[in-house]
Structure 1
Amino acid sequence: MKAYYKPFLAIVIILLADQVLKFWIKLNMTLGQEFHLIGKWALIHFTENNGMAFGMEFGGEAGKLALTLFRIAAVSMIGYGVVYLIKNKYHRGLILNVALIFAGALGNIIDSSFYGLLFSESTYFETAKFLPAGGGYAGLFHGKVVDMFYFPIIQGIIPTWFPIWGGEDFIFFRPVFNIADAAISIGVISILIFQKRYFKEERMEESYPHSEIVEE
């Protein structure tokens, strides 16, 4: 059971932090409201999206339902993967990073599955209400994912001589994201960086009795 402790603890911490912050944002900020954390380069900016991580979209109501159901299937497989990796004693770093991906995916699934039932619509003029008398703003599996972290570290205008985008405004980093998105990104990037360490061939320990060698 000790092998499950750290991955489980990481999952619980990420889910709690993600959902507590999202609840606070929904109940205390209007859509589009923001405040600065560090100058102009780190902001809390409340936005919602119907699609994937970092505000990307995916095709209307049918696409939204399909994406949510796909997420549920995917997170079930990832959860199984965490258990499999633990049981088969894979590298602890790999297990922890897959647990991060699982927690992040599950965090966003909670939004898209239940927030439409739990909250009224967030607008640019009013904050949302929790469990409103008239019901939530959407049905099951049609909720919006809450995002809030915005880091426009570099801002400027692309030179006019640059093909296609010349003269347009440039912002890095433009996407607005949440704790769940960050957990997924950290897990995936860490696996890519340390994959040789995680998947290297280790000396196999014999799990069966040594067979006797018969000399002729």
Structure 2
Amino acid sequence: MKAYTKPFLAVILVLFADQVLKFWIKLNMSLGQEYRIIGDWFIIHFTENNGMAFGMEFGGEAGKLILTLFRITAVCAIGYGVVHLVKHKYHRGLILNVALIFAGALGNIIDSTFYGLLFSESSYFQPAKLLPPEGGYSSLFHGKVVDMFYFPLIQGNFPQWFPIWSGEDFIFFRPVFNIADAAISVGVIAILVFQKRYFKEEKKEESYPHSEVIEE
């Protein structure tokens, strides 16, 4: 059971931090409201999206339902993957990063599955209310994902010679995201960066398959 402790704690911490912050944002900020934490570089900016991570959208009400159901299926598969990795004693770093991906996916599923029932509609004039008497702003599986972290580190204009976006404004980094998105990104990037270390032992075992020793 000790092998499950760190992945379990990672999932709980990510989910707790993610949901506490999202609840606070929903109940205390109106849509579009911002708090500048570090000048123009780090901003808490409240926005919601109907789709995927970093504010990307996906096909209306039907698309929203399909995406939510797909997320639930995917998070179940990832959760099973974490258990499989622990049982087969894979690299601890790999297990921890897959656990982060699981936690992030689960965090956004909570929004898209339940927030429509739990909260009133957020508006540009006032924060939402928790468990309003008239009911939530939507039905099960049709909630919106809450995003808040905005890092417009570099702002400027594309030069006139630049193709397609000539002379247009640009911002890096434009997407607004949340803790769950960050956990998924950290987990995926870490696996890509350290994949040789994580899968080193498995590759060795494949290179030297078990052979029977015949004793005379």
Q: TM-score range by the shorter chain?
A: over 0.9
CA distance in 2, matches of 1:124, 1:71: 29
The answer to whether the aligner puts 1:159 opposite 2:159 as a matched pair is yes
Q: Secondary structure at the match of 1:134?
A: coil
Identity, % of aligned positions: 80
Counterpart in 2 of 1:49? Answer: 49
Counterpart in 2 of 1:200? Answer: 200
CA distance in 2, matches of 1:43, 1:212: 65
Counterpart in 1 of 2:32? Answer: 32
Matching of residues 45-194 of structure 1 within 5 Å: 45-194=45-194
Residue 201 (structure 1) shift = 3.1
CA distance in 2, matches of 1:134, 1:82: 40
CA distance in 2, matches of 1:78, 1:16: 19
Q: Secondary structure at the match of 1:182?
A: helix
CA distance in 2, matches of 1:117, 1:133: 11
Counterpart in 1 of 2:208? Answer: none
Residue 212 (structure 1) shift = 7.0
CA distance in 2, matches of 1:214, 1:194: 41
- Residue 45 of structure 2 aligns with an amino acid whose one-letter code is H
The answer to whether the aligner puts 1:214 opposite 2:215 as a matched pair is yes
Point out where structure 2 has 5 or more consecutive residues left out of the alignment: 206-210
Q: Secondary structure at the match of 2:201?
A: coil
Q: Secondary structure at the match of 1:201?
A: helix
| Alignment TM-score, normalising by the size of structure 1 | 0.95
CA distance in 1, matches of 2:4, 2:134: 42
CA distance in 1, matches of 2:176, 2:110: 18
CA distance in 1, matches of 2:179, 2:112: 15
Q: Secondary structure at the match of 1:148?
A: strand
CA distance in 2, matches of 1:167, 1:50: 31
Q: Secondary structure at the match of 1:77?
A: helix
CA distance in 2, matches of 1:7, 1:211: 37
CA distance in 2, matches of 1:19, 1:8: 16
The CA deviation string for residues 50-96 of structure 1, in whole angstroms up to 9 with x for no partner, is 00000000000000000000000000000000000000000000000
CA distance in 1, matches of 2:213, 2:198: 34
Residue 160 (structure 1) shift = 1.4
